[in-house]
Amino acid sequence: MLERFRQGWQKVMRPLASGLLAMHVTPDMVTWIGTIGAVVMALVCLPQGWLWQGALLITLFIFSDSLDGNMARQLGRTSQWGSFLDSTLDRFGDGAVFAGIALYYAGPGHSTLWCGVALAALILSLVTSYVRAKAESLSMDAKMGIATRADRLLISLVAVEITGLARVGVLAHWFCWALPVGLCYLTVAGAITVGQRMTAVKRQSES
């Protein structure tokens, strides 16, 4: 869903990437800073119930996911190491967001049910990424699906933001259901995406 907007987003990020390069900041530095920042914000803010604040701060650090690649292309230094580092650290960021949500429900959110659903969404997001990586290691394609990484991040962070604003009275109280609904969607969509990718790999292996 969101992958189609990636090209336009890269154009928006290009001036910022150029500015960082001019200050001798490297793409790897941006990758590490973005990941560490997102992980810390997710595991500090969300378990404390600081939902809307956490979602905003995580989003700021997530921007580095597009920024580091843009910087590498401007330098003409795209490499296997950069791709490997980016993909590996992405898993930490994704995992921290869902872990933070699960810890929120295990703590101030007071819901074993939604904690479990958050963990299910976490597991499926990791399996989704693994299926693609394993397929590519076998020279096959498995990028398809209704829940790509960009989709998962957008839905989870928007749901956290809306629920957080509802909890502090900025939005109507019933908006607190945004996060549970988002988690349900991501769990179902994650399972479907894994099925779609496994089916695609099976077809390619038999062709």
Locate the domains of the chain by residue range: 1-206
Number of neighbouring beta carbons within 10 Å of residue 81: 10
**Dist CA 98 CA 156 (whole Å):** 8
Window from 25-34, 111-120, 180-189 with minimum mean pLDDT: 25-34
Average pLDDT over residues 16-23: 82
Residue 77 has pLDDT above 50, yes or no: yes
Q: Which of 3 and 203 is assigned the larger pLDDT?
A: 203
Known catalytic residue at 90: yes
Q: Please, which residues have CB within 8 angstroms of residue 155's CB and are 6 or more apart in sequence?
A: 182, 185, 186
Residue 48 has pLDDT above 90, yes or no: yes
Instruction: Name residue 99's amino acid.
Output: A
1-206 carries CATH number 1.10.260.30: no
Can you tell me which residue has the tokens 């595991």?
43
**Which range in 31-40, 42-51, 198-207 is most confidently predicted, on average pLDDT?**
42-51
- Residue 1 has a pLDDT of 45
C-alpha distance from residue 200 to each of 3, 128, 131, 141, 172 (Å): 19, 13, 11, 8, 43
Radius of gyration over every alpha carbon of the chain, rounded to an integer in angstroms: 18
Residue 62 has pLDDT above 60, yes or no: yes
Q: Which of 63 and 122 is assigned the larger pLDDT?
A: 122
C-alpha distance from residue 146 to each of 136, 141, 202 (Å): 19, 15, 18
**Dist CA 134 CA 205 (whole Å):** 13
**Dist CA 28 CA 25 (whole Å):** 9
Catalytic: which of 90, 94, 141, 151? 90
Average pLDDT, the chain: 89
**Dist CA 121 CA 185 (whole Å):** 9
Residue 2 has pLDDT above 70, yes or no: no
Residue 59 has pLDDT above 60, yes or no: yes
Can you tell me which residue has the tokens 């957008």?
154
Average pLDDT over residues 20-32: 86
Average pLDDT over residues 99-112: 97
DSSP state of 170: S
